[in-house]
Structure 1
Amino acid sequence: MRISEFRNAKAEDRFRTAYEQTLTSLWPGPRTTLDIPTTFGVTRVYRTGPETGDPIVLLPGSGGNALMWHRYIDDLAENHPVIAVDTVGEPGASVQTSPIADGRDGAAWLDELLTALELTAAHVVGCSYGGWLAINHQIHHPGRMATLTLVDPAGLADVGRRFYTWLIAGGLASAAPRPFRPRLARLVGNSAILETELMGLVRASMGFRRALPLAYTFSDEELRSLHVPSLFLLGARSALHDSAQVADRIRRLAPSARVEIVPDAGHALPADQPTLVTNRILNTASQKPS
């Protein structure tokens, strides 16, 4: 089995330079940088906010890193410690050293990370693939999460051709000259391509070979095992799945979970509705486990 890594030293240097520039530009405020060793590699996390309080842990989507949450940090960190994670195996400052074969391995990595950070009641927020990892953790290692906020998470339905078409269209649109991107973003339904600095970082990551497992669909039994207070935020126009069908499935299998279908939003929900997502994260973090 392979691990995620850069094609060569030149590709890695190009990405590292772009990453540091983007970090400085998008997150100029105070932060503590931690490199946490795990069985699967060293994981980079950034911590900010008050020293005490209920921590919020942010997991990015596939191909992303902690910087995808840059516009959320100040609001979330006003009353909560915030820990933004570069997932091992994704293009970021973490370095993978052992393969992650499946969701169980992904859950083990996340459990090692939360244990090393001494978090026993974390409010975990997972976007897309990060949501899939968070659900896997709750299935295989329950007890460390106080709440879950899942932002258009993967693993709730089989992925079809529509999603891969959306990904390709978004990639092509992001390479267009900047004046054309607003119109293209509306056309392809992906407002994330308007994040100019992040799109530059995405282009710099083209020399990164991602080798993480596909987000397979959770079984009914697995979803029934979710008992932690959870909010599923689904984009009404998500290309990842049929949000209405997914919402029905969650309500049937995990009746204690809350489900919200967000109008005027697609799979790029954090970019489409940042204020709403911020409010929902904070509202969920205010809950206490039953």
Structure 2
Amino acid sequence: MAIGEAISADGTAIVYRSAGPAAGRPLVMVHGWAADLRCWGGAADDLAERHRVIAVDLRGHGYSGAPASGYDDPKNWAADIAAVLAAEGVESGAVLLGWSYGGIVISDYLAAHGAGAVAGVVYSGSMANIGRDVPGAETGPTLLTAMPGVFEESAGRAVRAFGGFGDANTGSGGSGVDAQRLFGASLATPPAVRKALFYRSVDNTEMLRALDIPVLVLHGTADPVVPVANGRYIAQTAPNVRASFWEGAKHGLFLEDRDRFVTEVSAFVAGL
């Protein structure tokens, strides 16, 4: 396991962790809003047994740089992923896996840079678009209820707001340790960053329609954070899609059923 740092186009340092066989297919794992590269838990370790796993800290999260502005610009998010791929010398064959907000980020990358370096894409509990009245960009009831408390600088208010997520991220299969790790990462993300990520509107529908590589959609039918309708939108829009909708599952599928998540992702990667 190694920690790396890539410098994005605007000078922001993007930190990532790589693990697994150097000759394995690169699997770039991009976490969601107010999380960090540790959110994947044991699923990342399992995937690293056969793949070259590159887990990224998004700008403003974890150990990556947190610029004062620029979170509303898709080009910045796209450049962050491009910088990591370049730092790792990945020019082709990568698989991009985005969870939650991470799906928007990998979509930003594909819209800006195309799929020349990418062999496949995985959207897990995710969306490709964001913004009011943008298709495929619904916000779930748990997140709506948590706002605006999750943007608070007051520790007490923020803790209570995040506590309202309950088991939305971990589902019935996740542990209390998993939940605490996610809550810790959320609270460690600066409140201004938590808020800034929602101040943008992006429609990547045309990118999805033109995508000429395989796509895997994994989504829980009871996801209260990113509604399953968003996953269905991706599945209905991209031309080469395999979708797996988990009946009754919630938002963090890699925590709710780690073995199933690893099996389905690995099977998709092996079939590329």
The TM-score, its normalising length taken from structure 1, stands at: 0.74
Residue of structure 2 aligned with 1:58, choices 23, 26, 29: 29
Q: Is 1:36 aligned to residue 6 of structure 2?
A: yes
Larger radius of gyration: 1
Report how many residues are paired.
Answer: 248
Amino acid at match of 1:111: A
Q: Is 1:77 aligned to residue 60 of structure 2?
A: no
Over 3 Å counting, the alpha-carbon distance change for 1:165 and 1:248 in structure 2 is: closer
Q: Is 1:198 aligned to residue 181 of structure 2?
A: yes
Amino acid at match of 1:152: G
1:19-59 deviations in whole A, cap 9, x for unaligned? xxxxxxxxxxxx21112222241111111111212111111
Residue of structure 2 aligned with 1:105, choices 36, 61, 76: 76
Counterpart in 2 of 1:150? 123
How far apart, CA to CA, are the structure 2 residues paired with 1:174 and 1:133? 23
Over 3 Å counting, the alpha-carbon distance change for 1:174 and 1:76 in structure 2 is: same
Counterpart in 2 of 1:125? 97
1:154-193 deviations in whole A, cap 9, x for unaligned? 22623346242454699648659xxxx9xx53xx685368
CA contact (8 A) 2:169 2:179 kept: no
Amino acid at match of 1:224: R
Deviation at 1:204, TM superposition (A): 4.5
How far apart, CA to CA, are the structure 1 residues paired with 2:138 and 2:192? 21
Deviation at 1:273, TM superposition (A): 2.2
CA contact (8 A) 2:215 2:241 kept: yes
Residue of structure 2 aligned with 1:268, choices 240, 243, 252: 252
Deviation at 1:148, TM superposition (A): 0.9
CA contact (8 A) 1:147 1:287 kept: no
CA contact (8 A) 1:157 1:241 kept: no
Deviation at 1:230, TM superposition (A): 0.8
CA contact (8 A) 1:233 1:259 kept: yes
CA contact (8 A) 1:264 1:272 kept: no
Task: Trace 1:190-269 onto structure 2 (pairs within 5 A).
Answer: 191=171, 194=176, 195-199=178-182, 201-202=184-185, 204-205=187-188, 207-210=190-193, 211-214=196-199, 216=201, 218=203, 220-243=205-228, 245-246=229-230, 248-269=232-253
Residue of structure 2 aligned with 1:87, choices 43, 58, 61: 58
Over 3 Å counting, the alpha-carbon distance change for 1:128 and 1:215 in structure 2 is: farther
How far apart, CA to CA, are the structure 2 residues paired with 1:217 and 1:273? 31
Over 3 Å counting, the alpha-carbon distance change for 1:160 and 1:149 in structure 2 is: closer
Residue of structure 2 aligned with 1:134, choices 106, 109, 117: 106
How far apart, CA to CA, are the structure 1 residues paired with 2:21 and 2:250? 33
CA contact (8 A) 1:229 1:287 kept: no
RMSD after superposition = 3.0
Residue of structure 1 aligned with 2:143, choices 142, 164, 167: 164
Task: State which drifts further: 145-154 or 211-220.
Answer: 211-220
Task: State which drifts further: 279-288 or 121-130.
Answer: 279-288
* % identical aligned pairs: 22
Deviation at 1:87, TM superposition (A): 0.9
Task: State which drifts further: 252-261 or 127-136.
Answer: 252-261
CA contact (8 A) 2:30 2:99 kept: yes
Deviation at 1:227, TM superposition (A): 1.9
Over 3 Å counting, the alpha-carbon distance change for 1:34 and 1:159 in structure 2 is: same
Deviation at 1:242, TM superposition (A): 4.4
Deviation at 1:88, TM superposition (A): 1.2
1:191-235 deviations in whole A, cap 9, x for unaligned? 368325404523651654313354646354232022221101111
How far apart, CA to CA, are the structure 2 residues paired with 1:47 and 1:189? 24
How far apart, CA to CA, are the structure 1 residues paired with 2:268 and 2:54? 16
Amino acid at match of 1:137: Y
CA contact (8 A) 1:35 1:44 kept: yes
